Structure 1
Amino acid sequence: MASKRIFVVFILPVIFSIAFGSAVMGDILQEPDRKLNMIPSMSFSGNSHSPEIEIIGLSKSYSISEPVEISVKVSDSHFDCGDLYVTIYSGKDVITQGGFFEQCFGERNELIPIGEKFSKLVDIPGSYEIVAEMVSKDLTNISISEEFTVK
């Protein structure tokens, strides 16, 4: 009797979860132009001198009362729409992050985020890294990082 309860309570849900998950994943991967990218954040190609993506308006130094305001320019023809993520790091710690979704800029070659700027106040003196990452609808991405200081 106890072994039936263990089977029904613990083992049967695991079997159903694996079967259902496999069926869903198999169905999703059957869609045209669909690929499995298990670690999308590791596939970026940007660096501090990447011609495909640029950070516009970043100063090398800010005061603690001055906000960090930037825009991003994407010149890669594969990216005409997508999501923009801007993150400020202190070492490995995330200080702040902004997300700007469904940014379509390819036709007019606009700076993104469209109609606004990423603006965050960093009020602790130190050295920081800012990373701008553009993720397209097919989950390919490019990124760039630059450093600045707050005094």
Structure 2
Amino acid sequence: MISSIIFGSLVLNGILIEKPERELNMWQFDSDFVSVHDVEILGLEKQYSTSEPVEIQVLIDDSLFDCGDLYITIYDVSSFSKQVVTQSGFFDQCFEKNNLSLPVGDEFSEIVGDPGNYEIVIQMVDDNGKNNISTSAKFTVK
């Protein structure tokens, strides 16, 4: 028993030393999202007016993801509980070969008409629906 724990620790240590950017997340079942830094939001401003559209593109730099479904959700975080303001899905996004920004052949553009504090969450789910990566950022509407 003790030798298997030591062996497992050595293997895990070797993996983390080989790839220091790799995260060890032993509590994945507690969260719907696994945040990583391989997802980048392009074009997001810190502040918008109530008539100005939020227009973004997404870059994904992860070898596990060359095709998948992209979900973009905006939450109102002005109050205690998050409220979904808008959610968009872009399906069958294949981008790796040409290093394209997402959504491919489409655009994300939403007007958030009420002043407040908001969070945008980007989630990419692979073709098998087994792996996902995500990121989020906050912005204000005045």
Query: TM-score band, normalised by the shorter chain?
Result: 0.7 to 0.9
Structure whose alpha-carbon radius of gyration is higher? 1
Amino acid at match of 1:80: D
More strand by share: 2
Q: How does 1:19-98 map to 2 (within 5 A)?
A: 42-46=31-35, 50-91=36-77, 92-98=82-88
Distance 1:138 1:120 in 2: 29
1:33-89 deviation per Cα after TM superposition (whole angstroms, max 9, x unaligned):
xxxxxx98935321xxx4311111100000111000001000001000000000000
Contact 2:119/2:136 (<8 A) preserved: yes
Which residue number corresponds to residue 101 of structure 2? 111
Amino acid at match of 1:101: F
Residues 94 and 40 of structure 1: CA distance in aligned 2, closer, same or farther (over 3 Å): farther
Which residue number corresponds to residue 135 of structure 2? 144
Distance 1:51 1:145 in 2: 10
Residues 60 and 115 of structure 1: CA distance in aligned 2, closer, same or farther (over 3 Å): same
Contact 2:37/2:135 (<8 A) preserved: no
The percent of aligned pairs where both chains have the same amino acid is: 54
Distance 2:30 2:96 in 1: 23
Amino acid at match of 1:100: F
More helix by share: 1
Contact 2:95/2:101 (<8 A) preserved: yes
Distance 1:103 1:110 in 2: 10
Q: Structure 2, unaligned stretches of length 5 or more?
A: 1-27
Question: How much is the aligned-residue C-alpha RMSD, in angstroms?
Answer: 1.7
Distance 1:130 1:71 in 2: 12
Which residue number corresponds to residue 121 of structure 2? 131
